[in-house]
Structure 1
Amino acid sequence: MKTGSMDECILVCVYYGPNGERLIRRGGKIAKMLNCPLYVLTVDRQPEDEWDIEKSHYISAWKKIADELGAEEFIVKYNEKRPVAKVITEVAKQKNVTQIVLGQTAQSRWEEITKGSIVNLLLHDISFVDLHIVSVSRELNVQEGFYETGVRAYLKEGPEGFRLCFNHTHLDKYEGIFYKEVGTDFNNGIFKFLLDNETIEVRVVDDYVKDINDRVN
């Protein structure tokens, strides 16, 4: 728990997708610089028990990163029917937030940010808060249309590298999400996993990752 500047408080708002880690780390840097509390918020319209495996993976990874950065709390608003801006405003007031970090992206429900609607609503409802709009590009490697929906998978180490498998065993080396390329009969695609609180992507070719250190750019 941070005990530094109580005049400042950072809230990072993330939504299910590949850019959450970057936003959390940006907010963490600001909080560290100001030596002040850090909160992370994600809002979702679905109940927790309806989340798919990919979404749960993102939340788990974000929680670990938030813990690593010393966040006061990772806040998840499940089954939320109110507008996102209203929820952010409510949390900001409850936590005495002075600075909010948002991602400027055309992805999913957060596309409103690009149009400025969420920003304008926040500026109107919580004029005392500074907004940091972080430009985040849409992830190239798992763009919609190029890869299928991610599924939980594992990498098992062997003589030819790491073999992709979908059944968990005690021999598994890594657990993550596999994105299969559209239009291929074999398991070719991207395997994404968390390593030392960092999201790593490696390429899978015919069921194998030849070198775990050969990261996707």
Structure 2
Amino acid sequence: MTEHTMICVKHGQNGLGFIQEALTHIEDEHRLTIYLFDNMACEEDHEHRIVGMSLFQKLAEKHSADLLISDGRALTTAKRLAETAKEIGATHIIIGEYSEGLWRKFLGRSTADHLTDHLPSTQVKIIPPDHAHEDAEWTFEKGMDAYLYPNNDGTYLLDFHHDTDASHEGVFFKHRHTDFNNGRFAFYDENDICEANVKKGIVHELTDHFEHFA
């Protein structure tokens, strides 16, 4: 029987970091599915739903994983996870604790309890927040698709319009309470998810690998 692990993750600032952590708990020979919850439910947030999605897609491709996308309404999470796990034949499920509070509050039981009841032959592993980086302070606004353009002095100009001169494409997360384009630019570089500091719309170095975007 082929072992099949389903990583359940929410879209947003912590999603990529959660996947990276979850991968350390999986044997190499496991088939892999990443089940991504789009947790931006408001209509006014519709344009932000695809922001950064390419990073999830490329991370899935890197690890030869199937990528499934669903909405992220917390009270339907466990039911959808169980149904999907059955459909794809998952033998292992990895989840974070992001929806546990709501499930315990309204239903008196956890997501893990529900999954264990409905999938008795499937192993369920919970990664606690301190390992999944879900308790990290997030001081950025919503991500925006952005591009870098090289300058003659070796720096890069951040811009939100794309043309063929762009050297990198990714997602810009602006620091809150700033009038300038100060923040972090997350992008995919060869086999790594990387970041760079942005100060007043300029990137001086592309050396920061996956760190705060986790």
**TM-score in terms of structure 1 length:** 0.77
2:51, 2:144 within 8 Å by CA — same for their partners in 1?
no
Q: Which residue of 2 aligns with 1:41?
A: 35
2:4, 2:32 within 8 Å by CA — same for their partners in 1?
yes
Q: Secondary structure at the match of 2:11?
A: coil
Q: Which residue of 2 aligns with 1:191?
A: 185
- Deviation of 1:130 after TM superposition, in Å, equals 0.9
Give the number of equivalent residue pairs. Answer: 203
Q: Which residue of 2 aligns with 1:63?
A: 57
Q: Aligned match of 1:91 in 84, 88, 91?
A: 84
Separation of aligned partners in 1, 2:201 and 2:75: 43
* 1:132 corresponds to 2:132: no
Cα gap change, 1:44 to 1:167, in 2 (>3 Å): closer
Separation of aligned partners in 2, 1:37 and 1:112: 30
Cα gap change, 1:32 to 1:113, in 2 (>3 Å): farther
Q: Aligned match of 2:163 in 166, 169, 186?
A: 169
Amino acid at match of 1:94: E
Write out per-residue CA displacement over residues 9-65 of structure 1, whole angstroms, 9 at most, x where no aligned residue: 2111111123333443455555543x23211212347599x7434x32333222222
Q: Percent identity?
A: 25
* 1:208 corresponds to 2:202: yes
- Deviation of 1:156 after TM superposition, in Å, equals 0.6
Q: Secondary structure at the match of 2:173?
A: strand
Equivalent residues in 2 for 1:148-163, closer than 5 Å: 148-160=141-153, 161-163=155-157
Cα gap change, 1:214 to 1:86, in 2 (>3 Å): closer
Write out per-residue CA displacement over residues 144-164 of structure 1, whole angstroms, 9 at most, x where no aligned residue: xx3222222111110230111
Q: Secondary structure at the match of 2:177?
A: coil
Separation of aligned partners in 2, 1:166 and 1:23: 27
Amino acid at match of 1:130: Q
The 10-residue stretch of structure 1 (73-82 or 192-201) with the greater mean CA deviation from structure 2: 73-82
The gaps in structure 2 that reach 5 residues or longer are none
Q: Which residue of 2 aligns with 1:12?
A: 7
**TM-score in terms of structure 2 length:** 0.78
Equivalent residues in 2 for 1:99-110, closer than 5 Å: 99-105=92-98
The gaps in structure 1 that reach 5 residues or longer are none
1:154, 1:172 within 8 Å by CA — same for their partners in 2?
yes
The 10-residue stretch of structure 1 (150-159 or 57-66) with the greater mean CA deviation from structure 2: 57-66
Q: Which residue of 1 aligns with 2:175?
A: 181
